Each structure stands twice: as C-alpha cells, then as structure tokens.
Structure 1
Amino acid sequence: MSYKRYSLEFKTDVLLAYEKRECTVKELCTYFNINEDSLSEWMKLYEKYGIEGLQRSTTWKPYSKALKEAAVNDYLSGEYSQRDLVEKYEISSRSVLQRWINHYTSHRELKDTSKGRTSSMAKGRKTTWDERIQIVLECLKNGKDYQKAASTHQVSYQQVYQWVKKYEDGGDEALKDKRGHKKEEDQLTPEDKANLRMKALERENDRLRAELLFIKKLEEIERRRK
C-alpha cells in the first residue's frame, strides 16, 4: 500500500473545510482526494497536539527498538488495527507503522530510530541561554518546525522540542541552565535584576509576535480556501 505525503497547509485546509462543511464526510474526502482514515487521524492529532500534531507525519521523531517491536507484535496478534496502534503508541502516521511491519515480516531487525541519523538529529551540543531563546523563537515563528530549527542551529531535535516546551511553560527563565548558578544569581544587584526583568519582557514580546505571525499565516490559509 502506498501513502501520500500531505503538507501542513493542505491538512489545515481539510480540517477547516470539515469544521464548516455542508456535505457528508464521504463527499468531503472525495473532494480533497483523501480517505476517511486520514481525516480521522488528522482530527485526532490536531485535538491532542494542535498544529504541532499536523506536522508529526513530516517531522522526524525518535522511536526505540522496543516500542517498534511492541507495536508490530500487537498488529500481528490481530487484536488491533493500524489506526488503534498509531494512537496507542503515538506513532506519527500509519505509513511509519507500515514500514516497521514490512521490515519485520521481511526478517530484518528493527533498530532504534536514532541510529544512522545525522548528528544534528541524534546528538546535541552545548548552547548559551541567548542561543536557546533565539532557537525557540525561530521555531515558534515557523509553526514549531523542530527539525528545521535543529538543522539550522546544529542542535538535536530533542533539544529543540524540550526547549520549546520549557519556554511555553515558564518563559525564557525556564531555559536557563541552573546547575551551579544559584549562588551567582543570589549575588545579583537590584540593577542587574531589573535589567534581567526588562530583557524577559522583551523576549516575551518577541514570543507573542512570533505566535501572532503564525496565527496570521493560518488565517491567510483560510481566506484562500474561501
């Protein structure tokens, strides 16, 4: 079975059309030339992960050998459908699972995804606080394209993903490497602390501008669809 690759813009168009549809699901899928399984999969990913979820099928994600074998064995047991397993193991797409199944049934060993990947994907590097903030803001501006940010700045996919999550939870302060720095921070003067607060506000404004740009991009997609 062959699987097509769909862009983020196309998936967004389909989901917007689904939300405002005045036809049956079958007619909608026929119009966009997709199957109902794909539509269902995109809806679940969007509901669970937002826009990031719609990128999962085209964004590299690491999987352990144990997870791959568990997913394949569950499928071969006949107790689960591919759709069930994609959701259960949080696999990026059915095509990824199908490749594992084909690999396994061809008597080839399943391996950790990280093996054989480029250094920017498999290994990280030391970064400064300012670098991490810059990388996160660029990633948010590009709709959380983790792999693009990792390749551009020669860091790992995992690093970018973790930095974005930390930033969303706690702002730029959450991106500090606090190991061994507690005493140093306690010794800051009131002026130093005020400067840090000003920089934090500036970076928060940068984050909001990045998110606004991405929202405008989605709105433009919707306008073109009308």
Structure 2
Amino acid sequence: MSNTFYPSDFKYEVIMAYKSKEYSLKEIYTKFKIPKVTLYNWVEKFEKDGMDGLSDSKKWKRYSKELKESAVRDYCSGNYSQYEIVRKYGISSRGVLQKWIKKYNSHGELLDTRTRRTHSMTKGRKTTWKERIEIVQDALANGKNYQKTSEKHQVSYQQVYQWVRKYEVGGWDSLKDRRGRSKSVEELTLEEKMKLEMRRIEKENERLRAENAFLKKLEEIERRRKSVK
C-alpha cells in the first residue's frame, strides 16, 4: 500500500467534489488520481469527525489499555481484518493498530494513551458580505490556505472553502446572504467600490496562480505515488 501523504485541504477538495455530484466516481478518481478505497475512507472519516478526521498528523486520540488489548486480541483471533478492527474500536488509522500489534508481539506492555492537546477547529459564525469578500481575498492571496484563513478570521474551514468556491463560480455577488435581504453594491462607499474593482483583476490573477499551484501539487503527489511503487 502506498504511504503517500495527502494534505487535509486536498482531501477536503476531493470530498466536496464527490458531494457536489458534479463528477462521476470515475471522473473523481481520474481527476485527483486516488484509488477508490481512499475516497471512501476519507468520506467516512469526514462524516464522523469533520476536518479533524482528515488531519491524522494533527489529531491525537486517547485509547485505554483495555481497548488496545481488546483490539489486538481480536486481530490475533483471526476473526477480523485490520480494517474491521479499526472501524469497530474507532481507531484513527490502521498504522496505529499495527504499532499496538508489534508491541504486543514483542512482549511490550500496552498502556493508556497519555492526554495531549488535540487540534481544534474554529467554529462557523455569521458574517457580512464585506467580511466574506475580505476573507476570500485573504484565502486567495495565501494560496487557498483555508486553515490559516479560518483561524485568522475566526470562521470555519468549511465556510472559507465554500465562499472561495462560490466566488470562483459566480463572482463577488455570489457571496451575498440569500437567506434574507440581499445587500446591494450601493451599500458600499465610492471609495470601497473603486478599491473592490481595482482588486478584482489582482485577485483573479491570484486565483489563477493558486490553481496552477494546486495542479503542481497534484503532479507532485502523482510523482510520489509512482516513486513508492
């Protein structure tokens, strides 16, 4: 099995493409160059733990000694596969289970996992149209670093991602709140309108650069996958 590392924002991009139903499964596998089992695994983790489920390197779960021993005994019984045990006990990854098995087989003692600070996710909040514009501009200027942008503006990762996606499809007007009264461009001052228009082309160029960077990231992932085969 490949040990290729996929960043959490890439995983989220794939999951959103899957959930949008704009692509067939075959198109998703081809576009993002991932195996079928990987997509299902990411979707399952995301639906269970949100963004934390996609950030294995930042997520730290606490397991009791009893849970570890039960999981290892189930594996040694031959009645369960490693994947089944991971799901049964809610273990973060198969690699974690394998470490327990190795330690057990070498006669090491399985102990309670020590408490450690977990990666926290910023919750969503209400925002104005002007705030959403500023947040999208920051995200694009930072190469679509959704996590960094969400932390800076104290909004959720999902909000930043959705706003950037809406802007790329429908422009700034698509960021208006359609649930109530839509704010009009006239609510902006003349100076704000001029500033917004001046930055539009600049941000469009940033968007294109970000897309090119994303494509290069995919190419790098593919090269890594090939190198480990």
Could you state the TM-score of these two structures normalised by the residue count of structure 1? 0.49
Could you state the TM-score of these two structures normalised by the residue count of structure 2? 0.49
